[in-house]
Amino acid sequence: EAGVTQFPSHSVIEKGQTVTLRCDPISGHDNLYWYRRVMGKEIKFLLHFVKESKQDESGMPNNRFLAERTGGTYSTLKVQPAELEDSGVYFCASSPFGSGFTEAFFGQGTRLTVV
């Protein structure tokens, strides 16, 4: 079974440009999360989807970040316009939806560098 896949694996863009990150969760996983790790610091929650609905986007830094999950399958995270402080590794994770605990499976991440 394929794991969570993210692409691109790396992206280097100039300040002011736009970048779109994509995440394909494990098939059948209704929960999809975006996290970010900046400069070797802790991993921070950005937002949570259940199917196509945003359940919690409290971690989104500002309105330059837009996440979508049309159709409840893959998700995109767009940064527009990118700023230097947006550099970091963006992780996507997914898990099945249910009443009990299920572990989250993380993708390999997208390393974003804004120059």
Nearer to other proteins, 88 or 107 (CB): 107
Nearer to other proteins, 59 or 81 (CB): 59
The CB-of-77 to other proteins minimum distance in angstroms stands at: 16
HEC-encoded secondary structure of the chain: CCCCEEECCEEEECCCCCEEEEEECCCCCCEEEEEEECCCCCEEEEEEEECCEEEECCCCCCCCEEEECHHHCCEEEEECCCCHHHCEEEEEEEECCCCCCCCCEECCCEEEEEC
The residue ranges that bind other proteins (CB under 8 A) are 31, 33, 35, 41-45, 48, 55-56, 91, 93, 95, 98-109
Nearer to other proteins, 71 or 101 (CB): 101
The CB-of-113 to other proteins minimum distance in angstroms stands at: 14
Residues in the chain: 115
Nearer to other proteins, 74 or 105 (CB): 105
The CB-of-14 to other proteins minimum distance in angstroms stands at: 24
The CB-of-106 to other proteins minimum distance in angstroms stands at: 4
